A and B are shown apart, each in its own frame.
Chain A
Amino acid sequence: MLEVRDLRVAYGKIEAVKGISFTVDPGQVVTLIGGNGAGKTTTLRTLSGLLTPTAGEVIFEGEPIHSLPAHEIVRRGLAHSPEGRHVFPRMTVQENLDLGAFSRKDGAKDIAEDFDRSLDLFPVLRDRRTQVAGTLSGGEQQMLAMARALMSRPRLLMLDEPSMGLSPIMMQRILATVAELKARGTTILLVEQNAQAALGLADSAHVIETGRIVLSGTGPELLGNDSVRKAYLGEE
């Protein structure tokens, strides 16, 4: 479904991603783990067109998308829930979700169905439909960001640090929702600091360090890997 080949991204002269390759197959959850500054967020931002790669290819459903602008990529079914949530703070929950469907050309009926489905996934948002998004709690804003990304009816959903900055309880609820999305057959590319949870969900996982993939495997494989346990799961 998604194939990344030798992707390189630089901010000016500083190369943040130094040749990354991986694939995401339909229905899979693929996770990228790694420390701060490893290049995970840069990778996602490049895939969604917010950044332009300096080299390499991104093939989505058989077509190269690495030179397309962001709005084209969304239209093709690759949705991005960015790091730090980025909800529209002065718009209501409803307006945020409406904007999530901005790129869609299909009918209002289909959009309304997806709207209901998103709210079923996050019942809290249903109660807060007319509330201004900036007044939601951090966890609720994260739910809104995910629901909004789903409103574009993506074929592949990219979640960047969905549990960042949340209380442990809220973190669990968000990750449980990711698990539910997986159960429904959504294809997900997940970047997560909470490596334990991410690896538990992942069909396949990649460890990124300073812009390179240093280790790949299935989720359970990496969970059992000694160096991963040391570096990312805090075990001696």
Chain B
Amino acid sequence: MIVSRVATSTSERLQATFTRPVRLAVGGAGSLLVVAGCLLPWATFFFGFPGKVTLAGFPGGSRLYPLLLVAVAPLLLVAVEGRRRAGLAAAWGVFGITAFNIAAIGFGRDLPLGLLEERGGGGLGAVAIGAWLALAGGALLIAAFASLPSSDEERPFRPGLPAALELLTIALSLGLILFAVVIALEVDETSRFISLIAFATAAGMTLARLNVFAYVTELFDRHRTVTLAAAAIAAVVFPFTQGGNAYWIRVFASIGVFAAAAIGLNVVVGLAGLLDLGYIAFFGVGAYVGALFAGAARTTVHVKLPFLVVVVMGAVIAAIFGVIIGAPTLRLRGDYLAIVTLGFGEIFRILAFNFDWLTRGPNGISGVPDLAIGSYNFGATNEVLGFSLPGFANYYFVELILLAAIILAFTRLNDSRIGRAWIAIREDETAAAAMGINTYRLKMLAFGIGAFMAGAAGTVNAHVTTQVSPDSYGFLESILLLAAVVLGGMGTIGGALLGSAALFIVPEKLRSFQDKRLLLFGIALIVIIRFRPEGIVANRRRKAELHDADPSTGDASGAPPGAPVVGAVAQ
């Protein structure tokens, strides 16, 4: 409160004192300082601080990010004057990233919470001139943008492009997303990854405040088929870009399986509005069925069935469990349902622990063999068109097909009569019943379909992880899955995908955070729910639900009325 009042009065004073020439001079000087600073070394002596920050003349390490941010700053200041808030986001990004890196270079692993496990720690004396210049430049940029009048900042960004250029924009945007993912995957050091996240946040906010996202989203929506096709192609091409390395293919296969389950949960929570806290149990049922009937090395059922049969079987058995659990509980509403499903989730885990004759108790079923269709072994490396594809790519493609099927089912359901009935139940169950909607049966259907999807994903997961044990299907996993759905955006496909990806990649990258993963996730959830309660990828209706009393927070993607806000991938 006090801080914001001080900030307001400071920017008022700046607005009063800075005339346009002064502002341009300050902003120009700031930009030059940042550029110079990023080309000069950030650390005076090198004792293992990662990222080549001691080299002069090229922006190694985290120095790239302020440089990229500052590229737009003069443009915002001169060409499109009035973009105060967008410019401020970029300027604060420059300042913040630089300040963080100064702290990382100076104090490294001495930072609170053991933030960085890498070296560093020479004190501020280890910080070289470049970092200080960039920091000063960032501060000047903040001042320059703060001095802009805050009046005409809501000019919508909507260039009238011919259709061909619109398609090109879509292709470029998707390419940019893919490029960003590849870059992000290659960043190894924790401090650089944090800088990258800060950069992504600052750049994202800048673009959002320029309404670029709303525009691109509108384009995606207008050219839906093209977008979907392009996204599908990108997904198929991905394994070919990995040069025979299985690591990220494996990670993405896991993300895909997780996302498939998250979309299933999205049917239950996002569409029908039923809070299920034990959902991972259905995923577990599928995984056990998948492992038991795959001819695993250490198993209790010595029957091997064809993979496709097992997938269907796992899905159906999970759906049956869904109906068994749903039948008594779906007569309950809200909090009661959440508590009962939580209990059932625990029951599943405890049964899996104790039914040794079937599940081998805590040892689980392990040694799930590679799939084979005829003589084609899924575990072997393949040469396709001169590209070397690691064996794991096969599972990646299996997972992709599963995900595509589940996405198709979700969109169809969402647009159907059943989907509308679910939304009605979510909004007002009494009124839904009075409209002639069979609420009980439809809630059962949502539960069953959600369980079916989770079961199918589970059977695939048994092959991805090659082993199944009770501890993988506890309360924590249910909560993480739910968090992925909420974080990404309830009721949307893009949200489930994004949430699952974030859930996997971020801990993978922040290895030093490993044991604080939940802390990080908790903080991220709080931040998201405070600033964007509808999730990263918003569903039009849910956005309306959460923002109708508070239009001021709807700026992040000021979509035109009636235009559904969908994410980068698809809804």
Q: Which residues of A line the B interface, CB within 8 A?
A: 48-50, 69-71, 74-75, 79-82, 86-91, 95, 98-100, 102-103, 130, 132, 134-135, 148-149, 152
Q: Is the CB of A91 within 8 A of B421?
A: no
Q: Is the CB of B431 within 8 A of A74?
A: no
CB distance from B15 to the nearest CB of A (A): 35
Question: Cβ of B434 < 8 Å from any Cβ of A?
Answer: yes
Question: Cβ of B433 < 8 Å from any Cβ of A?
Answer: yes
Chain A contacts for B436, CB-based, 8 A: 70-71, 74-75, 102-103, 152
Nearest residue, chain B, Cβ from A76 = B436
Q: Is the CB of B433 within 8 A of A91?
A: no
User: Chain B interface mostly helix, strand, loop or mixed?
Assistant: helix
Instruction: Report the count of interface residues on B (CB-CB < 8 A).
Output: 25
Q: Is the CB of B544 within 8 A of A86?
A: no
A-contact bits for B428-472, CB 8 A (1 contact / 0 none): 101111111111100000000000000000000000000000000
Q: Which residues of B line the A interface, CB within 8 A?
A: 417, 420-421, 423-424, 427-428, 430-440, 541-542, 544-545, 548, 561-562
Q: A102-B421, A134-B548 are in contact. Are A88 and B433 (CB under 8 A)?
A: no
Chain B contacts for A49, CB-based, 8 A: 433
Number of A-B contacts (CB under 8 A): 78
CB distance from B331 to the nearest CB of A (A): 12
Q: What are 23 residue pairs bridging A and B, where the CB atoms are less than 8 Å apart in the complex?
A: A48-B434, A50-B433, A70-B434, A70-B439, A71-B437, A79-B434, A86-B428, A88-B423, A88-B424, A88-B431, A89-B428, A90-B541, A90-B545, A91-B423, A91-B424, A102-B417, A102-B436, A103-B437, A130-B562, A132-B548, A134-B548, A149-B434, A152-B436
Q: A102-B421, A134-B548, A135-B548 are in contact. Are A86 and B434 (CB under 8 A)?
A: yes
Q: A71-B436, A74-B434, A80-B434 are in contact. Are A88 and B421 (CB under 8 A)?
A: no
Chain A contacts for B434, CB-based, 8 A: 48, 50, 70, 74, 79-82, 86, 149
CB distance from A225 to the nearest CB of B (A): 33
In Å, the complex CA distance between A91 and B423 comes to 9
In Å, the complex CA distance between A119 and B437 comes to 23
Q: A88-B424, A99-B420, A102-B421 are in contact. Are A71 and B433 (CB under 8 A)?
A: yes
Q: Is the CB of A152 within 8 A of B423?
A: no
Q: Is the CB of A86 within 8 A of B431?
A: yes
Chain A contacts for B427, CB-based, 8 A: 88-91
Chain A contacts for B423, CB-based, 8 A: 88, 91
In Å, the complex CA distance between A88 and B428 comes to 6
Chain B contacts for A91, CB-based, 8 A: 423-424, 427, 541
Q: Is the CB of B438 within 8 A of A71?
A: yes
The 7 closest A-B pairs by CB, nearest first: A103-B436, A74-B436, A86-B431, A70-B433, A88-B427, A71-B438, A71-B436
Nearest residue, chain B, Cβ from A132 = B544
CB distance from A69 to the nearest CB of B (A): 7
Q: Is the CB of B438 within 8 A of A87?
A: no
Nearest residue, chain A, Cβ from B438 = A71
Q: A50-B430, A82-B430, A98-B420 are in contact. Are A90 and B437 (CB under 8 A)?
A: no
